[in-house]
């Protein structure tokens, strides 16, 4: 399998930008995108989110959405939902999860928020998108949502305790929060990762750079603690191994590995260029040379590596207690 195709930059069409949600009145700064090293980034709260928002990145989000459905045996969520009225997706990206949830629950209003207005406007009537920064104080009101979803907010949350406290307040009593998050570190159970592996180094550097920025990648086990500390009950936590490519024998896990590799190959430059050049001081050419080595590692079937991700969900109690203050 040849990785060359993944090195080509996608051409910049404004397809999704021009389809930006008409349901939101957007100030000009929202669509005044920033460009850097041939990739497009958000204009609203510019510089806050380190990953691109261009067509190439939105396609990658859709690939990963398919991968999540594979991992969840076709489901859009694992928490139990009964006749939800209001659902919110924090950091919705391409909006694909919201659109499919709106189709699955036609009686619910589904709201997706993101720093970038890159979602399509041709969506179900019960699906809406707004430009918002979830790091600012939330203005959704208390006790409003039946479900809150977030996926891959790694590198975006500066204060997890505060984030989950706000999430708790915004949910109705009995409402659910569900999250899918991951680490970028490379794990292996049979010592097949060679010494000096570029893929292992990449994961360690990604964790280092976001730690330096005060937006750390958490060990996935921490999410369960955060939900419990915020007051959620019935917290269910499941670790999901993400193979680096299609090396596993099991057919279903092999297929998931294929999509994990595709997601990483498609996203690698976008995940890496801004953090490494802005924070670590690398030159763009150095990043490009390094990523060529990382791509080779991703595609090596004899490296039995995986990254850890998790699905975690919890319920706001039906009769919430006054929350204790957390230090």
CATH code of 257's domain = 3.40.50.150
Region 201-226: mean pLDDT is: 93
- Classified as helix, coil or strand, 27 is coil
Distance between the two ends of the chain, CA-based, in angstroms?
51
- Residue 142: the pLDDT is 93
- Residue 323: the pLDDT is 54
> Tokens in use for 216?
């750390």
Count of structural domains within the chain: 1
Span of 26-40, 68-82, 140-154 with lowest mean pLDDT: 26-40
Span of 4-13, 238-247, 275-284, 308-317 with lowest mean pLDDT: 4-13
pLDDT over 90, % of the chain: 65
Region 288-308: mean pLDDT is: 95
Q: Is residue 7 part of a domain?
A: no
- Residue 59: the pLDDT is 84
Rg (alpha carbons) of the chain, rounded to whole number: 19
Q: Is residue 4 part of a domain?
A: no
For strands 86-90 and 145-151, give the pairing: parallel
Distance, CA of 204 to CA of 277 (rounded, Å): 16
Q: Is residue 310 part of a domain?
A: yes
- Residue 227: the pLDDT is 98
Return the higher-pLDDT residue of 16 and 149: 149
Q: How many residues does the chain have?
A: 327
Q: Is residue 46 part of a domain?
A: yes
Q: Is residue 186 part of a domain?
A: yes
Beta bridge partners of 112: 89, 129
Q: What is the pTM of this model?
A: 0.84
Is the predicted pLDDT of residue 217 greater than 80, yes or no?
yes
Residue 291's pLDDT band, with cuts at 50, 70 and 90, is: very high
92-127 core/surface letters (b: 16 or more CB in 10 A; e: else): bbbbbbbbbbbebbeebbbbbbbbbbbbbeebbebb
Q: Is residue 195 part of a domain?
A: yes
Q: Is residue 68 part of a domain?
A: yes
List the domain range (segments joined by +) for residue 222.
Answer: 32-316
Is the predicted pLDDT of residue 294 greater than 80, yes or no?
yes
- Residue 206: the pLDDT is 95
Region 103-119: mean pLDDT is: 91
Q: Is residue 187 part of a domain?
A: yes
> Tokens in use for 273?
């260029």
- Residue 50: the pLDDT is 62
Residue 135's pLDDT band, with cuts at 50, 70 and 90, is: confident
Return the higher-pLDDT residue of 195 and 5: 195
Region 217-240: mean pLDDT is: 96
Average pLDDT, the chain: 84
């Amino acid at each position: 399998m040849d990785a060359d195709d993944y090195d080509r930059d996608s051409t910049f069409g404004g397809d999704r930008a021009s389809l930006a949600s008409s349901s939101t009145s957007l100030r000009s700064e929202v669509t005044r995108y920033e460009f850097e090293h041939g990739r497009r980034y958000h204009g609203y709260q510019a510089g806050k989110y380190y990953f691109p928002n261009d067509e190439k990145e939105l396609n990658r989000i859709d690939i990963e959405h398919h991968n999540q459905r594979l991992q969840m045996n076709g489901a859009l969520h694992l928490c139990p939902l009964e006749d939800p009225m209001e659902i919110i997706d924090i950091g919705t990206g391409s909006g694909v999860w919201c659109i499919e949830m709106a189709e699955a629950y036609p009686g619910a209003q589904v709201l997706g928020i993101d720093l970038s207005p890159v979602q399509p406007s041709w969506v179900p009537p019960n699906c809406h998108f707004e430009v918002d920064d979830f790091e600012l104080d939330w203005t959704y009101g208390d006790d409003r949502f039946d479900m809150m979803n977030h996926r891959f907010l790694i590198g975006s949350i500066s204060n997890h305790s505060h984030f989950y406290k706000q999430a708790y307040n915004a949910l109705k009593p009995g409402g659910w929060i569900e999250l899918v998050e991951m680490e970028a570190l490379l794990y292996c159970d049979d010592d097949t990762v060679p010494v000096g592996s570029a893929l292992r180094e990449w994961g360690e550097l990604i964790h280092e750079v976001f730690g330096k920025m005060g937006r750390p990648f958490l060990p996935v086990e921490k999410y369960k603690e955060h939900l419990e500390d915020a007051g959620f009950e019935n917290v269910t936590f499941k670790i999901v191994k993400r193979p680096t490519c299609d090396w596993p024998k099991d057919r279903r896990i092999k297929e998931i590995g294929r999509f994990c590799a595709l997601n990483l190959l498609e996203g690698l430059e976008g995940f890496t260029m801004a953090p490494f050049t802005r924070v670590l001081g690398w030159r763009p050419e150095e990043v490009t040379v390094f990523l060529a080595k990382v791509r080779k590692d991703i595609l090596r079937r004899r490296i039995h590596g995986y990254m850890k991700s998790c699905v975690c969900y919890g319920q706001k109690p039906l009769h919430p207690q006054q929350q204790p203050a957390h230090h």
